[in-house]
Amino acid sequence: MSTVLVTGGTGYIASHAVVTLIEQGFTPVLFDNLSNSKSLVVDRIEAITGVRPRFVEGDLSNIGLLESVFAEFKIDSVIHFAGLKAVGESVREAQRYYANNVAGTLALTQVMAAADCYSLVFSSSATVYGDPETVPITEDMPLSATNPYGRSKLMVEQILSDLAVSNENWRIALLRYFNPVGAHESGLIGEDPNGIPNNLLPYIAQVAVGKLECLSVFGGDYQTVDGTGVRDYIHVVDLVEAHVKALSALAPEHGCQAYNLGTGQGYSVLEVIKAFEQASGVEIPYKIVERRAGDIRASYASPENTASKLGWRARYDLAAMMRDHWCWQQRNPQGYEA
């Protein structure tokens, strides 16, 4: 049985990954500083799987603690989710973002190498494509970033790629997520953002339960089907399954490779609102306002490279994403706090 260190293990995406890892016979060890998640997540994972995973509370900057985790648990590979992810906050708190996301990853890889563990799956983002000239986006398209969050992802990708050149033992998968949404079908784990959500789905879901009044749709004059921005929404359960496929693909000679994780299908904001209304039976009041600074017109993946190299394709459609996101929000209107 393979032991996988899951950094950021109690977070939104990682908690789903831990469920899938347990179901597929892996032994996950969770490591998280709880800066953006709750330890109650561990109880919920146990309720879903019947297995209580080991959880270590700690920060990536604590090298001594990380070393002791590698020594105690004999880690075979790492899925590195831990990171700060709010774009606006990254502009105001650039120092904290680079320290956490870039220096944190460096510390992790240093401890991994010392422990002779060279298999790493990294949570990157489609944000590294900047404002793409064409869609669908393929992995070989030019990379750029417009804010510290995006640059931290780009820097880490470059660092990891250089590590793989410097030492051929490294086997690294850079997973570029498009827009993860939805939740585990049980409704026991899901996304629980702090404060007012920045992202579309958590915002819509909080309007639906009456926590927020009205959705602002950022821009109605893009060159798209209906003038609103187009994104590639992907069910979080599909997304985490790709991580397990990536782990299996980390064979010798893999080096450092990037994979898009999207469905290949773009939907506009208005299409998403409609799909959510159909899934929930709740009307979502909205108004079209100015474009959000830094937003792009359209972003969706070409999933072909990932399909051929990892043997993975997304299975859930938009209706299933909305159904499961709504189920989580309805069962946990106050998130994990309640």
Which residue of 2, 3, 34, 274 would you call a contact of ligand NAD, by CB under 6 A? Answer: 34
Q: Which of residues 161-190 bind ligand NAD (CB under 6 A)?
A: 177, 180
Is residue 267 within the footprint of ligand UD1 (CB under 6 A)? no
> Strands 230-231 and 267-268, how do they pair?
antiparallel
Stretch that binds ligand NAD, among 26-34, 45-53, 252-260, 270-278 (CB under 6 A): 26-34
Is residue 66 within the footprint of ligand NAD (CB under 6 A)? no
Q: 144: which strand partners? A: 129
Is residue 217 within the footprint of ligand UD1 (CB under 6 A)? yes
Is 129 part of the annotated catalytic residue set? no
Please confirm whether the linkage preceding 136 is cis (ω < 30° from 0): yes
Q: Which of ligand NAD, ligand UD1, none does residue 198 bind (CB under 5 to 8 Å by kind)?
A: ligand UD1
Is residue 224 within the footprint of ligand NAD (CB under 6 A)? no
Judge whether 121 and 247 are in contact, CB under 8 Å: yes
Judge whether 138 and 305 are in contact, CB under 8 Å: yes
100/332 with CB nearer ligand NAD:
100
167/194 with CB nearer ligand UD1:
194
Nearby residues of 10 by Cβ (< 8 Å), 6 or more positions away? 30, 32, 34, 37, 38, 39, 41, 42, 55
168/192 with CB nearer ligand NAD:
192
Contact characters 184-213, ligand UD1, x per CB under 6 A: --------------xxx--x----------
Q: Which of residues 129-188 bind ligand UD1 (CB under 6 A)?
A: 149-150, 179
Which residue of 4, 18, 45, 60 would you call a contact of ligand NAD, by CB under 6 A? Answer: 60
Judge whether 214 and 287 are in contact, CB under 8 Å: yes
Inter-CA distances, 216 with 123, 259, 271, 286, Å: 29, 32, 15, 6
C-beta of 295: minimal distance to ligand UD1 in Å? 5
Judge whether 250 and 188 are in contact, CB under 8 Å: no
Nearest 5°: the CA angle 162, 167, 168 is 105
C-beta of 171: minimal distance to ligand UD1 in Å? 25
CA atoms within 13 A on the CB side of 104: 23
Helix (H), strand (E) at residue 202: helix 200-208
C-beta of 76: minimal distance to ligand NAD in Å? 20
Render 96-129 in DSSP notation, one character per residue.
Answer: HHIIIIIIHHHHHHHHHHHTT--EEEEEEEGGGB
Contact characters 96-135, ligand NAD, x per CB under 6 A: ----x---x------------------x-x----------
Task: Indicate which residue of 149, 203, 222, 316 is catalytic.
Answer: 149
Please give the Cα distance from 249 to 240 (Å, whole number).
Answer: 14
C-beta of 50: minimal distance to ligand NAD in Å? 23
Helix (H), strand (E) at residue 258: strand 255-261
Nearby residues of 163 by Cβ (< 8 Å), 6 or more positions away? 109, 170, 172, 256
Is residue 231 within the footprint of ligand UD1 (CB under 6 A)? yes
C-beta of 287: minimal distance to ligand NAD in Å? 24
Which residues does the annotation mark as catalytic? 149
Residue numbers at the binding site for ligand UD1 (CB under 6 A): 85, 87, 125, 127, 149-150, 179, 198-200, 203, 215-218, 229, 231, 269, 292, 294-295
